[in-house]
Structure 1
Amino acid sequence: MIYTPRSARPPDWTIAMVVPLQGPAGLFGPSCEAMSELIVHDLNESGGILGREVRVELVDGGGDPSQVAAEVGRLLDQGRIDAVTGWHISSVRHALAPVVAGRVPYVYPALYEGGEKRPGIYCSGETPRLQIAPALRWMREHMGLRRWFVVGDDYVWPRRSSEAVHTYARDLGLDVVGQAFVGLGDRAISRVVKRVAEADCDGVFMLLVGQDAVAFNRSFAKAGLHDRLIRFTPFMEENMMIASGAAATTGLYASASYFRTLVDANSMDLTSRYVSLHGPGAPPISAVSESCYEGGRTLASLIERAGSPEVAAIDATIDGAAYDGPRGTVEFKGRRAHQPVHLAVANGLDFDIVTTLSPAN
C-alpha cells in the first residue's frame, strides 16, 4: 500500500450535523448521533463527496435558535465546515438561513411547513401538500372523520401547518372546531387535553414535538380519550412512541415518508447496515434519525450532480435531481422535493403501514 502524505491528500469534507441534544426534542439526540455515523460510513465507503473523505461536526440544535446560528456561524468563519444539514425545528432553520446565506450548501431534510425558496437551502422533507391534505382526505373517506381539533407547539411549523389544515379542511368539507397552542416544553398540557375533551370533535390533529407530544399522549390516554377519539399527526416517530408507552398510542395515526416498519429493499437495507455498524442495542432508528441520513445523502447527490460544492452550481442543476434512499425515490422538481408519503397506525410501540397516500393537486 502506497502512503499518501496528508498534505498531498484532498482535505476532509466536513458536514455540520445540527441535531437537538437538549430541550423537548432532545430525546432524538442519541438516534441522530448514531445515524450520523452511519451516513459518514456509507458515503466514505462509496468514495466520499467529489473524492473527499466525509466527516461530521455535531452541533447541538436544541438550544435557542440564535445561539445555534451563532455556533454554526463560528464554524463557518473558522473554515471548519463545508455544508450544513441535520434534523432541527423550523425556528432553527430560519435562524441559520441568513448565517449560512449561500456560503455553503444547506440541506434541510426534516418535515416542514413548505414555502422555503432562499438560495442555497435545499429542503428534502415532507410538506403539508404531500403529508396533510391526502391524509385528511383518506381519513374522511375511509373513517368518516370530519371534525378536528388542532393542538400544536407555538412556533413556525405548527402555526403554518395549522393554516394549511384550515385551508384543506375547507376544500374537503371538514370542520376545525377548535385549536390550542402551547410553548415548547410547556408542562401544562393537561389544560389542552381538557379543552379537547369538551370539544365536539371526531379527532385531534397533533402538531407537537418530542416530549410535548409524549406528555400529550400520556395525558390523553389517562383521560380515556383514546377510547373515543382518533389522533392524527404528521410527526410521530419511534422515540416518541417508546416514551409515550404502548397504552397511550391506541388510535394514533401518522403520515411520513419513512417508518422503520417499511418493508422494501431500501428501508430494510438501512436497518441492516445500521445494526451491522452499531449492534442490536443501538438507539432506535426513527423518522427523525433517518432524516439525518437523508440530509447527507441529499448533499452528496446534489453536489455530485453539480460537479461542485458551490451553491450557484447546485442551484443551476437541482431541477430534476433524484436519488433512491430509505424513503424511496426523492426527486426535485424545481426546488421542491417529491417523495412517497405513507399513512400508518400505531401498533403498540411501532407503526403498521395502512396505505401510500396520493398527493394533493
Structure 2
Amino acid sequence: MATSSAGPWRVAMVLPLRGPAGLFAPSCEAVIALAVNRINAAGGILGREVVGEVVDGGREPSVVAADVADRLAQGTVDAVSGWHISSVRRALVPVLAGRVPYAYPSLYEGGESRSGVFCSGETPDQQIAPALRWLRDELGTRRWFVVGDDYVWPRVSARAVGRFARDLGLDVVGQAFTPLGAGHVGTLVDRVERAACDGVLMLLVGQDAVEFNREFARRGLGDRLVRFSPLMEENMLLASGADATTNLFVASSYFRSLATTGALDLLGDYVHVHGPDAPALSSAAESCYEGLHTLAALADRAADDRLEAWDAAVDGVAYEGPRGTVEFRGRQARQRVHLAVADGLDFDVLTALP
C-alpha cells in the first residue's frame, strides 16, 4: 500500500448518478474500486495512496463544475477523471485549467487540446469511420440515417459522419436529434421508418438508446435495418433485451467478451473482488479504469506534481491494459478498436478495425 506524509491523492471521479446515463454508475463505481486497489498495490501515484471520490456528473454541467470548483477551493482534489458526457467536460475544463490534471476517458467527438486535459477515449476517426467502411464492404450498408441526443458529442460526430460518408461513397439520407433524457425517442423512430435507408447510426446515450432499441424492435425494423453505435455498452444491451438488438453493431476499444490477456485479467479480478452478481462489467466502466491508469502512467513519466511537467511528458506515454496498448500522441490516446455484433445479452467480437 502506498503511504506518504502528504496524505492521499484524491481523484474526483465524475459519474452520472442520474439521468439517461445513470445506468452506468454501479458498474463504474465497482471498476473504480478495483482500479484504485491495483494502483495502490503498485505504489500509488507520486508515492501517495489514491482515493477515488465520486461526484455526481448527471446534474446540469454548470452545477457539476461548481461542485468540483468548491472541492478545488477546499484543497480536496488532486485530479479529475470518470465517465461523463462532453457537455460536462466542457464545463469542467475552464474550472480545472492550470490547476490539476484531468484525464477524460469517455469516448467523445475529438478535438480537445487544452493544457492539462488528457483524453484516453475513442474518437470518431477511430470508431465510426472504419466501422462504416467495414459495414459497407461486408454488409453493403450504404444509405444511413443518423439519430442522436441533442448535445455536443452527437452533433459534432454527425458532422464527422458527413465527411466520412463522402470519403467512403456513402449517403447520409437524413438525421434527427432529441433532447437528452426527454423520452422522445419515438419521434426518432418515426423519422427512420419513413427514410430510404438501410442503416441507422445511433448517437444516443444510456436509457435513450435503450428506449430507441425497444421501440425499433416493436415496429419490426430490426430484421431489415442495420444499426450501428459507438456507444452501446453491456448495461445498455441488457436493458434493451435480446429481442431488441438484432443486427446491432458496436465499435469500442473494450468489450467484456474480449479474449485478450488484459481483458481477461480485468474480468477475472473483477469477479474475484465483487463476485458473480456484481454490476455488469462494461465498456463505460472500463473507461474509468483507463482514466485512473492514464493518471498513474503520466505521473510516473513526469515524476513531478507540477501540471506543466505532465503536459511536457504526455506525448509518447504508453501503457498496457484491458484495451491492449494505449499510447498518447499529444494529449489524445490511440488504441485498437474492435467491431462487435450484439448476440443476445452479450457482444460477439467480429474483428479489429484498421
Q: Which TM-score band applies after superposition, normalised by the shorter structure?
A: over 0.9
Does structure 1 residue 289 correspond to structure 2 residue 282? no
**Which residue of 1 is the match for residue 225 of structure 2?**
229
Residue deviations 1:121-145 (CA, integer Å, cap 9, x gap): 0001100111011011111111111
**Which residue of 2 is the match for residue 208 of structure 1?**
204
SS at match of 2:66: helix
Q: Which amino acid aligns with 1:19?
A: L
1:269 Cα deviation after fit: 0.3
Q: Distance in 2 between matches of 1:325 and 1:134?
A: 23
**Which residue of 2 is the match for residue 239 of structure 1?**
235
1:309 Cα deviation after fit: 2.5
Does structure 1 residue 348 correspond to structure 2 residue 344? yes
Residue deviations 1:203-259 (CA, integer Å, cap 9, x gap): 100000000000000000000000100000111000000110000001000000000
Q: Distance in 1 between matches of 2:69 and 2:324?
A: 33
**Which residue of 2 is the match for residue 61 of structure 1?**
57
Does structure 1 residue 190 correspond to structure 2 residue 192? no
1:170 Cα deviation after fit: 0.6
**Which residue of 2 is the match for residue 251 of structure 1?**
247
- From 298, 301, 308, the equivalent of 1:305 is 301
1:304 Cα deviation after fit: 0.9
**Which residue of 1 is the match for residue 75 of structure 2?**
79
- From 53, 77, 102, the equivalent of 2:98 is 102
**Which residue of 2 is the match for residue 3 of structure 1?**
none
Residue deviations 1:84-104 (CA, integer Å, cap 9, x gap): 000000000000000011200
**Which residue of 2 is the match for residue 315 of structure 1?**
311
Q: Distance in 2 between matches of 1:325 and 1:310?
A: 26
SS at match of 1:261: coil
1:276 Cα deviation after fit: 1.2
Residue deviations 1:314-341 (CA, integer Å, cap 9, x gap): 1111111100011110001222211000
1:186 Cα deviation after fit: 2.0
Does structure 1 residue 129 correspond to structure 2 residue 132? no
Q: Is the 8 A contact 1:319 1:333 kept in 2?
A: yes
Q: Which amino acid aligns with 1:71?
A: D
Q: Is the 8 A contact 1:87 1:292 kept in 2?
A: yes
Q: Distance in 2 between matches of 1:192 and 1:333?
A: 37
Q: Is the 8 A contact 1:213 1:240 kept in 2?
A: yes
Q: Distance in 1 between matches of 2:113 and 2:104?
A: 12
Q: Distance in 1 between matches of 2:316 and 2:207?
A: 38
Q: Distance in 1 between matches of 2:184 and 2:311?
A: 44
Q: Is the 8 A contact 1:21 1:60 kept in 2?
A: yes
Q: Distance in 1 between matches of 2:143 and 2:114?
A: 36
- From 11, 15, 21, the equivalent of 2:17 is 21
Q: Is the 8 A contact 2:263 2:322 kept in 1?
A: yes
Structure 1: gaps of 5 or more residues: 1-5
Range that drifts further, 326-335 or 237-246 = 326-335
Q: Which amino acid aligns with 2:261?
A: A
Q: Is the 8 A contact 2:186 2:212 kept in 1?
A: yes
Range that drifts further, 302-311 or 151-160 = 302-311
Q: Is the 8 A contact 1:104 1:309 kept in 2?
A: no
**Which residue of 2 is the match for residue 45 of structure 1?**
41
**Which residue of 2 is the match for residue 220 of structure 1?**
216
1:9 Cα deviation after fit: 2.5
Residue deviations 1:133-162 (CA, integer Å, cap 9, x gap): 101111111111100000000000000000
Q: Distance in 1 between matches of 2:57 and 2:249?
A: 27
1:311 Cα deviation after fit: 1.4
Structure 2: gaps of 5 or more residues: none
SS at match of 1:132: helix
Q: Is the 8 A contact 2:327 2:334 kept in 1?
A: yes
Residue deviations 1:171-191 (CA, integer Å, cap 9, x gap): 111000010000011222112
Q: Distance in 2 between matches of 1:119 and 1:144?
A: 42
Q: Is the 8 A contact 1:105 1:309 kept in 2?
A: no
Runs (4 or more) in structure 1 with deviation over 2 Å come to none
Q: Is the 8 A contact 1:146 1:174 kept in 2?
A: yes
1:43 Cα deviation after fit: 0.6
Q: Distance in 2 between matches of 1:336 and 1:108?
A: 10
Q: Distance in 2 between matches of 1:281 and 1:134?
A: 35
Q: Which amino acid aligns with 1:333?
A: R
Q: Is the 8 A contact 2:117 2:331 kept in 1?
A: no
Does structure 1 residue 260 correspond to structure 2 residue 235? no
**Which residue of 1 is the match for residue 150 of structure 2?**
154
1:70 Cα deviation after fit: 0.5
Q: Distance in 2 between matches of 1:323 and 1:185?
A: 36
